[in-house]
Amino acid sequence: MQSATAHAHETLGHDSHGDHAHHHDVSFIRKYVFSTDHKVIAKQFMLASLFFLFVGGLFALLIRWQLAFPGEAIPLIGNILPDTWVSDGAVTANFYTQLLTLHGTVMIFYVIIPLAVGMFGNFCIPLMIGTDDMALPRLNMYSFWLVPPAGLIMLTGFFFDSGAAAAGWTGYPPLGPSSGAGQTTWLISLFLIGFSSIMGATNYMATILNKRAKGLEMFQMPLTIWALFITAILIVLGTPVLAAAISMQLADQYLHTSFFMPDNLLIGAPDNSLLTGSFVQKGNELLEHKQLLGGGGQPILWQHLFWFYSHPAVYIMILPGMGIVSDVLATFARKPLYGYKAMIFAIMAIGFLGFIVWGHHMFQSGMNPLLGTTFMLSTIVIAVPSAIKIFNWLGTIWRGNIRFTSANMNALAFIATFIIGGLSGVFMASAPVDIYIHDTYFIVAHIHYVLFGGALFAIFSGIYYWFPKMYGKMLNESLGRKHFYWSFIFFNLTFYPMHLLGVGGHMRRIYNPYIYEFLQQYQPLNQFITVAAIILGFSQFILIFNILWSLKYGKKAPRNPWQANSLEWAAPAHPGHGNFDTDIQVYRGPYEFSHPDRETDFYPQWEKPKDEPQGDEKAVPETKEHSQSA
């Protein structure tokens, strides 16, 4: 421990010499691959997740193509894909369900969570609490290096004869445990990424509790850190329950246990003509065992265990975004965050309520209706802390001196789309309404308004905001704006019409909706959505191009490009291992913007109060009346 710290201090001196200054200290592998530096790990999370973002996006576009033009060959790639995936260049029904399953799983577990929690958690926590690294840097490295193998294990499913997981991203039994090897890779992959999440979250909590800079109280931390702290608690308490459920589903698959498989299940009955091939063979085995059994399992039990994790997981995905947006809005409105403590307590309330609402996913599962009512009430209560946050954000920007940077525009987009997603959430929280819209495109619209419109726009905002500190270069603002406008417009054109599809009765996971006469009228709308989705997907290349272009030709970033207050901006423009080149002492909270006694409109957390002598050119002239003796 001591030697590691000493080493960090030693290398710190080289920062100003740029990227390659301490090659002689650390080998290439240790510096860029198996690094324990939280900033490198954050960049690794970003790289891996952006890769998976494009994988998941490609899946989405294939799904969209099928819904718009069922049976028609996919342009460009349709005729080069293997026969197990396509017939005559069009996606097969079997492949469609695999795409649907993996689009959901990849986007949730390999894009949003690693970006929101893995990337920002790693990058922001040590910098924003003013310390040199995580509490346990090596654990941090392990937590990243579980992600690529876990993701690849899941994708290998596509190359099995039986295909990838196709039971939906929820993996409900009996379909889940009775499917083939693809489902196994899905389960193992989720187990690994869950373990990675727990290791990361444990580390975040220990770091925030133990390594805050001198003088930094818990209630002086930026909202991003608070949000990540509560998120980490959700991960630590929620993820292991999913791990237990996954173990039980794996046992159902391979040990022929019956945790989730009901007694005398019809799957595998030899005369069941609906089922064919190896499925029946495997099913027969199951049935033989079932006949020996006295008792069976309950499919709904899986749903309870799964949603006990996966509902908090929704907040795991959105809370970091809420934190990022709070910081970005306050900085670019040049105003203190409205209701700082109320915002923190609202996050805590959302985190707590998030654990007692999972049943609202199961109104249609045959759960006791009385139980459904309690879940309905607790779910609707979540609207209260969410509304507190919305109004406080509006209060923050109200009459502010707003700077429309790309980071801020994405943050504003977050508020707009999150309101729509939040309100459609209240529809579904109400059991009677949910019975009608359950399993329709209304749900798809809602989840994308919350996770794409909410979480992903917040993540974009965070990338634009912290990129200068990550790479020492400014992102190109004009490209950033273009990326924002294209994303925002085509995001709404893609997902808003899905509400209409859903209310019209368009099923959520259907391969070819037009076998139903009443859905045929929606084909033009589906085609419109698909065109918008393709443009939305290709708009993301603007971001990638911007990142690559700015890395090479971008303007060199100053230390504090946004004139923000929190501690990460006290670090050098492109901090090396060890982060800071000065000691950090914290004097105030992170949102002291437009302080009436100051000439500049920001008052950094690390700046000494002016009655104490300081050799800084920014120090305001000595005056007597500044003291806060009111």
Partner 1 sequence: MSSGLSLAHEPVTKVAHGKLAMWIFLASEIMFFTGFFGAFIVLRNSNLELFSHSAAELTKGYALLNTFILIGSSLTMALSVLNLEKGNIGKFKLFLGLTILCGFGFIIVKTIEYTTKFSHHIFPWTNVFFSFYFLMTGFHAIHVIAGMIPMTFMFIKAFTKKGYNHPVKVETLGLYWHFVDLVWIFLFPVLYLIFPAH
Give the integer Cα–Cα distance in Å for 510 and 97.
9
The binder of partner 1 chosen from 211, 334, 481, 482 (CB under 8 A): 211
The binder of partner 1 chosen from 85, 96, 259, 460 (CB under 8 A): 259
Q: Looking at beta carbons only, is 46 or 125 nearer to partner 1?
A: 125
Q: What part of residues 226-245 is at the interface with partner 1 (CB under 8 A)?
A: 236-245
Within 13 A of 237's CA, how many CA atoms are on the CB side? 16
CA–chain centroid gap for 211, Å, is: 25
Q: Looking at beta carbons only, is 293 or 619 nearer to partner 1?
A: 293
The answer to whether residue 583 forms part of the interface with partner 1 (CB under 8 A) is yes
The answer to whether residue 577 forms part of the interface with partner 1 (CB under 8 A) is no
The binder of partner 1 chosen from 56, 102, 111, 132 (CB under 8 A): 132
The secondary structure of residue 167, as a DSSP letter, is S
The binder of partner 1 chosen from 580, 593, 603, 606 (CB under 8 A): 580
Q: Looking at beta carbons only, is 158 or 191 nearer to partner 1?
A: 191
Nearest partner of 586 among 600, 568, 572, 561, judged by Cα? 568
- In sequence order, which residues have a C-beta less than 8 Å from that of residue 160 and are 6 or more positions away? 180, 181, 182, 185
Stretch that binds partner 1, among 5-13, 382-390, 477-485, 548-556 (CB under 8 A): 5-13
Note whether 176 and 302 are within 8 A (CB): yes
Smallest gap from residue 296 Cβ to partner 1 (A): 7
- Could you give the angle at which helices 340-354 and 383-397 cross, rounded to 10 degrees? 150
The secondary structure of residue 222, as a DSSP letter, is -
Note whether 143 and 203 are within 8 A (CB): yes
The answer to whether residue 140 forms part of the interface with partner 1 (CB under 8 A) is no
Q: Looking at beta carbons only, is 218 or 515 nearer to partner 1?
A: 218
Tokens of 23: 């090659």
The answer to whether residue 417 forms part of the interface with partner 1 (CB under 8 A) is no
Tokens of 571: 């670090």
What is the largest distance, in Å, between two alpha-carbon atoms of the chain?
93
Smallest gap from residue 199 Cβ to partner 1 (A): 8
Site string for partner 1, 304-343 (x = CB under 8 A): xx--x-----------------------------------
Smallest gap from residue 311 Cβ to partner 1 (A): 14
Q: Looking at beta carbons only, is 202 or 539 nearer to partner 1?
A: 202
Tokens of 534: 């393709």
The binder of partner 1 chosen from 49, 565, 579, 605 (CB under 8 A): 579
Tokens of 267: 């799957």
Q: Looking at beta carbons only, is 12 or 99 nearer to partner 1?
A: 12
User: DSSP assignment of 254-303, as one string?
Assistant: HT---SSSPTT-STT-TT-TT--THHHHHHHHHHHHHHH-S----HHHHH
The answer to whether residue 176 forms part of the interface with partner 1 (CB under 8 A) is no
Smallest gap from residue 217 Cβ to partner 1 (A): 10
Stretch that binds partner 1, among 45-53, 133-141, 598-606, 620-628 (CB under 8 A): 133-141
Q: What are phi and psi of 585, to 5 degrees?
A: -125, 130
The answer to whether residue 351 forms part of the interface with partner 1 (CB under 8 A) is no
Give the integer Cα–Cα distance in Å for 321 and 535.
24
Give the integer Cα–Cα distance in Å for 235 and 255.
29
The answer to whether residue 248 forms part of the interface with partner 1 (CB under 8 A) is yes
The secondary structure of residue 501, as a DSSP letter, is H
The binder of partner 1 chosen from 214, 399, 552, 624 (CB under 8 A): 214
Q: Looking at beta carbons only, is 482 or 559 nearer to partner 1?
A: 559
Q: Looking at beta carbons only, is 362 or 501 nearer to partner 1?
A: 362
Smallest gap from residue 136 Cβ to partner 1 (A): 6
Cα angle 474, 478, 480; round to 5: 70
Q: What part of residues 279-298 is at the interface with partner 1 (CB under 8 A)?
A: 289, 292-298
The binder of partner 1 chosen from 38, 103, 212, 610 (CB under 8 A): 212
Nearest partner of 584 among 128, 53, 2, judged by Cα? 128
Give the integer Cα–Cα distance in Å for 76 and 154.
25
The answer to whether residue 531 forms part of the interface with partner 1 (CB under 8 A) is no
Tokens of 202: 């444990």
Question: In which residue are the tokens 């990361």 written?
Answer: 200
Q: Please give the single-letter amino acid code of residue 273.
A: S
Distances (CA, A) of 99 to 95, 140, 628: 6, 31, 61
Within 13 A of 526's CA, how many CA atoms are on the CB side? 26
Q: Looking at beta carbons only, is 132 or 607 nearer to partner 1?
A: 132
Note whether 532 and 490 are within 8 A (CB): yes
Q: How many residues bind partner 1 (CB under 8 A)?
A: 62
Q: Looking at beta carbons only, is 127 or 529 nearer to partner 1?
A: 127
Q: Looking at beta carbons only, is 303 or 331 nearer to partner 1?
A: 303
The answer to whether residue 12 forms part of the interface with partner 1 (CB under 8 A) is yes
Q: Looking at beta carbons only, is 4 or 394 nearer to partner 1?
A: 4
The answer to whether residue 210 forms part of the interface with partner 1 (CB under 8 A) is yes
Tokens of 620: 């305001």
- Looking at the DSSP assignment, which residues form a beta bridge with residue 86? 91
Smallest gap from residue 25 Cβ to partner 1 (A): 13
The answer to whether residue 253 forms part of the interface with partner 1 (CB under 8 A) is no
Contact residues for partner 1, defined by CB under 8 A: 5, 8-10, 12-13, 130-132, 135-136, 139, 198, 201-203, 205-207, 209-214, 236-245, 247-248, 251, 255-259, 289, 292-298, 301, 304-305, 308, 578-584
